[in-house]
Amino acid sequence: MEYIFTGKTPEEAIEAGLAELKLTREDVDIEILEEGKKRLIGSVPAKVRIVVKEKLTDGARAVKFLEGLLPLLGSDAQPSLAGEEEKIVIELKAETTKGIIGRRGEVIDAIQILAGAVANTGRKEYVRVVVDCGNYREEREETLRRVAEKLAAKAVRIGKRVRLEPMNPYERRIIHSALAESDEVYTKSEGKEPSRYVVIIPKHAKAYDKDERGGRGRNRDGGRGKGGRDRGGKYGDRDRKKQYEHRELPKETAPETNGTSFNRGGGTAGYKKGGFSGFFGTFLGNASDDAEPTPDTTPDATPDNPEE
């Protein structure tokens, strides 16, 4: 709608018009028709035309934006506002949906993000914007719900977390919503945009054990082996120590030698625990074990002194 206002000057006419309409300069378009003139007798008042701008809703602004964007993308799709209550829904009507949707919805998702940015400009609270074409959103949501349930069952079966492919915030919200009431799994988002993804985690996940995967490492019983070999296998049980027979050390006496003893100082050539015995070579005793040993008659031989 448009209105005509007059005043002594154009500025006075504008102020009078805005005050009467209770609007601001941002809400109207102003056109000056007469500047106003002073004469010797009387004067010509200034005249202005004030046109009230059409106040668009947030959804209507987004639709108007898409009307200018889609031709630039080479698309003949026509946007229309389908709903604006809980969320803004914009429908795109086109002869073919392939070019406007794109691979895995990449094109329509990008259009949706731009439309959401326009609709939320100047708002204090964020409003959700959905751009749909050919019932794509409903079919995609049903597909994501089936995938979420299938992968949740897998996570419970293997007892480990399952990671989904990267998704946009709208699709991640569908996964979270599909499994929100599950008693067996819970979900969370990880990573950074645009590669942020959803992880499905079983509530009773198994503890990680490297040996379950056939790797080399320490098994659950503390033993070390390959492929999760238990401690009672090839390497024995460390908790059960083998009982060896008690072995007596030989008496500290000079053994019979073949004369090649290193004991040249005349001392006792007895066995010393942890030290060198002072001889080497083959023991040359009698062939019979019952016979008395032959005494050593070499000049360096020294009889044992049992009192040492």
Domain regions of the chain by residue span: 2-52, 58-134, 138-202
Q: Was domain 138-202 assigned CATH 1.10.357.10?
A: no
Q: Give the tens place of pLDDT for each residue, 171-191.
A: 999 999 999 999 999 999 999
Is residue 264's pLDDT more than 80?
no
* Residues 276-286, mean pLDDT to the nearest whole number: 43
User: What is d(CA 85, CA 114) in angstroms, rounded to the nearest whole number?
Assistant: 20
Which has more confidence, 217 or 101? Answer: 101
What is the rounded distance in angstroms from the CA atom of residue 199 to the CA atom of residue 17?
60
pLDDT > 70 fraction of the chain, expressed in percent and rounded: 65
pTM of the model: 0.52
The confidence band for 3, taking pLDDT boundaries of 50, 70 and 90, is confident
List CB contacts of 16: < 8 A, sequence separation 6 or more: 5, 7
- 64-109: pLDDT as tens digits: 999 999 999 888 899 999 988 889 999 999 888 778 888 878 899 9
Confidence at 252, pLDDT banded by 50, 70, 90: low
Question: Across residues 231-255, what is the average pLDDT?
Answer: 53
Per DSSP, the three-state class of 30 is strand
CATH fold label, 58-134 = GMP Synthetase; Chain A, domain 3 (3.30.300)
Overall average pLDDT of the 250-264 stretch: 50
Q: Phi and psi of 26, rounded to 5°?
A: -70, -15
Predicted pLDDT of residue 114: 94
| pLDDT > 90: percent of the chain | 34
Cβ contact 170:206 at 8 Å: no
Q: 261 vs 178, which has greater pLDDT?
A: 178
The token pair that represents 135 in the structure block? 């019932």
Name the average pLDDT for the chain.
75
pLDDT surpasses 60 at 301: no
Both tokens assigned to 283: 């023991």
Walk across the sheet containing 185-190 and list its strands.
Answer: 162-163, 197-202, 185-190
Q: How far apart are CA 228 and CA 216, in angstroms?
A: 7
Q: Read off the tokens for 304.
A: 């044992």
Q: Is the per-residue pLDDT at 23 higher than 90?
A: no
- Range in 35-39, 56-60, 275-279 with the lowest mean pLDDT: 275-279
Query: DSSP characters for 55-105?
Result: ---HHHHHHHHHHHHHHHTT---EEEEEEESSSEEEEEE-S-SHHHH-GGG
Check residues 288 and 158 and name the one with the higher pLDDT: 158
